[in-house]
Structure formats: C-alpha cells, structure tokens
C-alpha cells in the first residue's frame, strides 16, 4: 500500500502552501514601516484563538490558543514591541467584560482587561458564539442524517419566524457595546473587526456526507453567515472601526476541498485544527487580510 507516501505528500503540500502564504504576508508587512504598530491586543473567540493548531500555548490551553493563530502571525509580521492575545474558544461578547470559566477549572480573565491607553492596534473576532455557532452546526448535522436532500435545519430554525436572523439582530448591540468599551479603554487604537471566513462552499449544494449538512440547508447557512458578517461590518462602520473581510479571500477553500486546499476543517479534520474551524492555512489567510487592513488609511 502507498497510503503512507500519499499522506506524507499531502502533509508536505499543506505545509509548503502554508509557508508560501506566510512568506507572502510577512515580508511586505515587515518591510513597510507605515504598517507597524507598537502595542497590539487580540480579542476574540475560537476563530481567533486557533484550537488544535500547533503549537498550543501553555498559558492558553483551556482556550485553545495557538502560536500560529492570526494574531501571532500579525504580531510577528508587524514586529510589535508589545503583544497580548487573550482570545478564547467559546467566548461570547459577554466574556469581553466578564471572566470566562474554562474546562480546566480556571478562567480566562475579562478580555477587555488587556487593554490600556497605550494600545494602538486591536483586533476583535466575536459574534459566532452569541448566535449559537456550535449548537447550529450540531443541530444541522443531526437533522441531515435522515433528510439529506431537503432542508431540515432551515425548517427547524424558521418554524416560528427567522430565529437565527433574530439572534444576529440581538447580537448587534452587544458588539456595539464591546466596540464602545474598546474605544474607552484604548482611545488611540486602530480597531479591526475580523469577520468569519468561508465554511461551507460559496456556491453549490455542499458535500454531504463528507460534511453532513443537508443539501437544502447549505445555501441557507451561507445566507446566515453572510448576515452575521454584514452585521459585524455595520457595527464596525458605526463605531469608526475597520471591518476585515476574510470571507471573499477564502472562497474556494471551504470544508469540501481537498487537504492542502481547504482552510477550514470539516467534522473529521484532515489537518491539525478543531472540527469546523480554521486550520493553519486559514489562519495565514486571515492574518494576510488583517495586515492589509492594519495599514494606515
């Protein structure tokens, strides 16, 4: 059997692509002093923290923080003198001002406590857990088992109106409050609100059962993610912050792609990362988009 050879080749290809992405984003930013920042703080949930991506940091094991998440890549590219990453898996907007209990019995301190008046760059990636990201995925997967070609999840969440649309609308003022608090604690900071990348394919019916989302639910879930990103962009604009679009640049790198091409893993990861979360390639792309947006206007 040649399984070992094929696996090694896929891993080599994935690693090589990651190095290419990192080389592409690090060199120009480091050579551009105008893109620099002195004190950078990263806030956010698991799409910021990078659970499962090597290397997991000892001080953030309960949060799944990786030293190859996009905040760490951005900090290295900008050569900041001070950098703090307090992102944490499962974080909601509430955990910006409240401590977040962790599975190890400890707690992640309120993330906004990392801010101070000398911070000049802040990234914020939040909102997915406020609308129930994990619950939505689990529910849609479970309902697809018996009804793979219909839209059982859409029917469930719209049986009494647009439940997820209402959740997104209810999250908007929470994001606005977080942005206002960032402005108070770090009044001189450039604030970047980082959106969510492509998860399911940007077109077509998906790839059930590889990613077991019913064919009829795929387009609907794309719309839900689009609504979430649009809300984040609106709140960023209203607060004078910059929205970082990671969706457009990640089209073609969804969970249905082959290893080395996918930037978000499926339910059974083929690269080190948590299920339905960005892998190292996805983090490299997010870092590239943040670096573009971090340059002075």
pLDDT of residue 61: 85
pLDDT of residue 249: 98
Q: Give, in order, the Cα–Cα distances in Å from 54 to each of 19, 73, 79, 281.
A: 14, 13, 21, 12
Taking the model in full, what pTM does it have? 0.89
Place of tokens 């059982």: 152
Choose the catalytic residue: 46, 144, 274, 286.
46
* 249 catalytically annotated: no
Q: List beta partners, residue 101.
A: 107
Q: Which two tokens stand for residue 245?
A: 């679009």
pLDDT of residue 297: 66
Find the distance separating the first CA and the last CA of the chain, reported in whole Å.
56
Q: Which two tokens stand for residue 259?
A: 């290893």
Choose the catalytic residue: 39, 68, 253, 277.
277
- Give the sign of the dihedral formed by CA 139, CA 204, CA 129, CA 172: negative
Q: Percent helix, strand and coil across the chain, each rounded to 5? A: 45, 10, 40
Which numeric CATH code is attached to 3-294? 3.40.50.1110
pLDDT of residue 59: 87
pLDDT of residue 26: 40
* 274 catalytically annotated: no
How far apart (Å, rounded) are the C-alpha atoms in residues 246 and 19? 19
How far apart (Å, rounded) are the C-alpha atoms in residues 80 and 48? 18
pLDDT of residue 32: 42
pLDDT tens, per residue, the chain with 297 residues: 332 333 333 333 344 344 445 444 444 333 343 355 899 999 999 999 999 999 999 988 899 999 999 999 999 999 999 999 999 999 999 999 999 999 888 999 999 999 999 999 999 999 999 999 999 999 999 999 999 999 999 999 999 999 999 999 999 999 999 999 999 999 999 999 999 999 999 999 999 999 999 999 999 999 999 999 999 999 999 999 999 999 999 999 999 999 999 999 999 999 999 999 999 999 999 999 999 998 876
Q: Domains of the chain: which residue ranges?
A: 3-294
pLDDT of residue 31: 37
Angle at 296 between CA 294 and CA 297, to 5 degrees: 110
């Amino acid at each position: 059997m040649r399984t070992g050879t094929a696996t090694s080749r896929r891993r080599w290809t994935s690693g090589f692509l990651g190095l290419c992405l990192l080389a592409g984003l690090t060199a120009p930013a480091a050579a551009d002093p105008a893109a620099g920042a002195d004190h950078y703080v990263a806030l956010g949930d698991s799409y910021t923290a990078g659970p499962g991506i090597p290397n997991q940091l000892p001080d953030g094991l309960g949060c799944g923080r990786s030293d190859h998440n996009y905040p760490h890549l951005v900090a290295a590219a900008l050569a900041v003198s001070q950098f703090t990453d307090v992102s944490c898996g499962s974080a909601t907007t509430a955990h910006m001002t409240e401590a977040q209990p962790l599975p190890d019995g400890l707690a992640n301190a309120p993330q906004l406590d990392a801010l101070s008046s000398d911070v000049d760059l802040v990234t914020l990636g939040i909102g997915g857990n406020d609308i129930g990201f994990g619950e939505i995925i689990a529910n849609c997967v479970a309902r697809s088992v018996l009804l793979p070609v219909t839209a059982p999840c859409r029917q469930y969440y719209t049986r009494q109106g647009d439940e997820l649309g209402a959740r997104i609308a209810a999250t908007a003022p929470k994001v606005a409050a977080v942005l206002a608090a960032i402005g108070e604690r770090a009044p001189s900071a450039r604030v970047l609100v980082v959106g969510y990348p492509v998860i399911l394919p940007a077109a077509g019916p998906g790839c059930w059962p590889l990613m077991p989302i019913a064919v009829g639910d795929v387009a609907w879930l794309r719309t839900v993610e689009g609504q979430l990103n649009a809300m984040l962009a609106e709140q960023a604009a209203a607060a004078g912050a910059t929205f970082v679009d990671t969706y457009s640049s990640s089209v073609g790198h969804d969970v249905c792609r082959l290893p080395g091409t996918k930037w978000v893993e499926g339910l059974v990861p083929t690269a080190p990362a948590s299920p339905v979360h960005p892998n190292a390639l996805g983090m490299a792309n997010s870092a590239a988009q943040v670096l573009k947006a971090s340059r002075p206007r």
